[in-house]
């Protein structure tokens, strides 16, 4: 008798276990809502960036290279003496010029070599660029947030974006008389929106070869948070 009762109890337990997944499968999934929130904030443009270059042309590729390399070497020596400015070599390119007779003859060679300058000391950068323009040309001059400045700005804006997402999720749930939980969340940075630089600044500096004032201003960083919430009873 006891054996029979034990067998019946075991069979009942197995039946309950087998029916549990079916009951769970029959339970409807909670309704979901997809939403997004965005926040933006300022990032100080505290890093000056300049790209300068030497460019020469001539009949001999070797002679052109010697002239360009001489100009770049002199510029590097001058830039390294300015400890507040970081300098590094940039793009170097050489290309031929062909005659107009249509026979594909190379009549000259042209070479361009760039230097990239970076500094958080705008006065030192402005002075150095003015000196270098005695032998180099200015291709680009801009202000942007330094890496650490940008990271801090992005962190602050991320907090604001997450709070905005949370507030919107709560608003939706409260309006519908539900509780909620976050089922999925993603965070993305939109990048920088720098202020426009004066178009004539580089041209004016090239003409005068003198220090020019640099005004940093601010860029905008944006962070978007997207996700899905489940509405609970």
Note the pLDDT tens digit of each residue in 112-166.
999 999 999 999 999 999 999 999 999 999 999 999 999 999 999 999 999 999 9
Both structure tokens of 1: 């008798």
Look at residue 47 and tell me whether its pLDDT is greater than 80. yes
pLDDT at 11: 43
Do 54 and 91 touch, CB atoms closer than 8 A?
no
pLDDT at 28: 86
> Which residue stretches of 56-185 are H helix?
61-80, 122-132, 147-175
- Tokens 């974006």 belong to 161
Do 211 and 127 touch, CB atoms closer than 8 A?
yes
The C-alpha atoms of residue 96 and residue 172 are separated, in whole angstroms, by 65
Look at residue 20 and tell me whether its pLDDT is greater than 80. no
The C-alpha atoms of residue 160 and residue 222 are separated, in whole angstroms, by 10
Where is 19: in which H helix or E strand?
helix 2-26
Do 195 and 144 touch, CB atoms closer than 8 A?
no
Rounded to the nearest 10 degrees, what angle do helices 122-132 and 201-208 cross at?
Answer: 50
pLDDT at 106: 92
Phi-psi domain of 102 (left: phi exceeds 0; alpha: psi -120 through 50; beta: other)? left
The SS3 assignment for 154 reads helix
Residue ranges of the domains in the chain?
29-46+145-233, 47-144
Mean per-residue pLDDT over the chain, rounded: 85
pLDDT at 4: 46
User: What does the pLDDT average to over 205-209?
Assistant: 50
Which percentage of the chain shows pLDDT scores above 90?
71
- Tokens 């029959």 belong to 26
- Tokens 């270059």 belong to 53
Half-sphere exposure of 228 (CA within 13 A, CB side): 6
Measured in whole angstroms, the distance separating CA 132 from the mean position of its chain's CA atoms is 29
Look at residue 101 and tell me whether its pLDDT is greater than 50. yes
CATH, domain 29-46+145-233, list 3.30.1490, 3.30.110, 1.25.40, 1.10.3470: 3.30.110
- Mind listing the pLDDT tens digit for each residue in 165-206? 999 999 999 999 999 999 999 999 876 666 655 443 444 444
Where is 207: in which H helix or E strand?
helix 201-208
Do 223 and 153 touch, CB atoms closer than 8 A?
no
Give the pTM: 0.73
92-101, 123-132, 211-220: which has the minimum mean pLDDT? 211-220
pLDDT at 113: 97
Nearest Cα to Cα of residue 218 among 143, 158, 160, 136: 143
pLDDT at 193: 65
* 47-144 is classed CATH 3.30.70.360: yes
pLDDT at 213: 65
The C-alpha atoms of residue 111 and residue 217 are separated, in whole angstroms, by 35
């Amino acid at each position: 008798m006891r054996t029979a009762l034990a067998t019946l109890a075991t069979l009942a337990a197995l039946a309950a276990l087998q029916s549990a997944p079916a009951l769970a499968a029959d339970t409807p999934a909670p309704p979901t809502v997809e939403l997004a929130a965005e926040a933006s904030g300022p990032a100080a443009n505290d890093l000056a960036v300049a790209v300068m270059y030497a460019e020469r042309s001539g009949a001999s590729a070797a002679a052109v290279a010697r002239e360009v390399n001489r100009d770049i070497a002199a510029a590097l020596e001058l830039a390294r003496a300015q400890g507040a400015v970081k300098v590094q070599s940039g793009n170097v390119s050489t290309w031929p010029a062909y005659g107009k007779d249509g026979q594909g003859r190379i009549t000259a060679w042209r070479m361009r070599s760039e230097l990239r300058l970076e500094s958080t000391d705008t006065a030192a950068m402005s002075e150095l660029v003015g000196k270098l323009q005695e032998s180099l040309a200015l291709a680009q001059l801009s202000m942007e947030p330094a890496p650490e400045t940008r990271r801090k700005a992005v962190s602050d804006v991320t907090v604001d974006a997450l709070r905005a997402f949370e507030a919107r999720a709560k608003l939706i749930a409260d309006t519908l008389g539900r509780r909620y939980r976050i089922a999925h969340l993603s965070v993305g940075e939109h990048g920088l929106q720098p202020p426009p630089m004066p178009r004539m600044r580089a041209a004016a500096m090239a003409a005068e070869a003198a220090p020019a004032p640099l005004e940093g201003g601010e860029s905008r960083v944006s962070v978007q948070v997207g996700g899905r919430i489940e509405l609970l009873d």
